[in-house]
Amino acid sequence: MKKAYKIIVMDSDVLKDIPPKYLQKTENWKIGKLLRKPIENARKIRDSIKRKVYRIVDEPHLQFRDCGKN
Protein backbone atom coordinates (compact mmCIF):
# COMPACT_ATOMS: atom_id res chain seq x y z
CA MET A 1 0.00 0.00 0.00
CA LYS A 2 2.90 2.31 0.67
CA LYS A 3 3.89 2.56 -3.01
CA ALA A 4 0.34 2.54 -4.35
CA TYR A 5 -0.78 5.59 -6.32
CA LYS A 6 -4.41 4.82 -5.61
CA ILE A 7 -6.26 2.13 -3.66
CA ILE A 8 -9.56 1.16 -5.23
CA VAL A 9 -12.21 -0.50 -3.08
CA MET A 10 -15.44 -1.79 -4.53
CA ASP A 11 -17.21 -2.47 -1.27
CA SER A 12 -17.27 -0.08 1.67
CA ASP A 13 -16.81 -3.00 4.09
CA VAL A 14 -13.20 -3.23 2.89
CA LEU A 15 -12.44 0.34 4.00
CA LYS A 16 -12.35 -0.75 7.63
CA ASP A 17 -9.35 -2.98 6.86
CA ILE A 18 -7.24 -0.20 5.33
CA PRO A 19 -4.82 1.46 7.76
CA PRO A 20 -5.80 5.08 8.44
CA LYS A 21 -2.56 6.48 7.00
CA TYR A 22 -3.56 5.13 3.55
CA LEU A 23 -7.19 6.28 3.51
CA GLN A 24 -6.33 9.45 1.56
CA LYS A 25 -5.29 7.17 -1.34
CA THR A 26 -8.58 5.29 -1.42
CA GLU A 27 -11.39 5.64 -3.90
CA ASN A 28 -14.62 3.75 -3.16
CA TRP A 29 -16.39 2.68 -6.34
CA LYS A 30 -19.46 1.39 -4.43
CA ILE A 31 -20.20 -1.51 -6.75
CA GLY A 32 -23.09 -3.03 -4.86
CA LYS A 33 -24.17 -6.61 -4.50
CA LEU A 34 -24.90 -8.66 -7.62
CA LEU A 35 -26.22 -11.84 -6.05
CA ARG A 36 -29.57 -12.77 -7.67
CA LYS A 37 -29.58 -9.62 -9.82
CA PRO A 38 -30.22 -9.65 -13.58
CA ILE A 39 -27.21 -9.97 -15.88
CA GLU A 40 -27.91 -6.44 -17.14
CA ASN A 41 -26.89 -5.12 -13.71
CA ALA A 42 -23.56 -6.93 -13.96
CA ARG A 43 -22.98 -5.52 -17.44
CA LYS A 44 -23.66 -1.96 -16.26
CA ILE A 45 -21.22 -2.40 -13.40
CA ARG A 46 -18.63 -3.94 -15.74
CA ASP A 47 -18.93 -0.97 -18.09
CA SER A 48 -18.69 1.49 -15.21
CA ILE A 49 -15.54 -0.19 -13.90
CA LYS A 50 -14.04 -0.14 -17.38
CA ARG A 51 -14.64 3.62 -17.72
CA LYS A 52 -13.14 4.29 -14.30
CA VAL A 53 -10.04 2.20 -15.03
CA TYR A 54 -9.52 4.02 -18.33
CA ARG A 55 -9.86 7.35 -16.52
CA ILE A 56 -7.09 6.34 -14.12
CA VAL A 57 -4.86 4.99 -16.88
CA ASP A 58 -5.28 8.20 -18.88
CA GLU A 59 -4.13 10.45 -16.03
CA PRO A 60 -1.24 12.44 -17.53
CA HIS A 61 1.25 11.99 -14.69
CA LEU A 62 1.13 8.18 -14.84
CA GLN A 63 3.76 6.36 -16.86
CA PHE A 64 1.72 3.49 -18.28
CA ARG A 65 0.00 4.68 -21.41
CA ASP A 66 -0.76 1.78 -23.71
CA CYS A 67 -2.46 -0.80 -21.52
CA GLY A 68 -4.26 -2.61 -24.29
CA LYS A 69 -7.42 -0.50 -24.44
CA ASN A 70 -9.75 -1.82 -27.12
Let me know: does 7 contact 28? Beta carbons within 8 Å: no
Write the CA distances from 2 to 7, 64, 69, integer angstroms: 10, 19, 27
pTM of the model: 0.69
Bridge partner list, 9: 28
Q: pLDDT per residue over 42-65, tens digit each?
A: 999 999 999 999 988 887 776 654
Instruction: Round to whole Å and give the CA distance between 53 and 46.
Output: 11
What is the Cα gyration radius of the chain? 14
Q: pLDDT per residue over 6-56, tens digit each?
A: 889 987 788 888 999 999 989 999 887 888 999 999 999 999 999 999 988
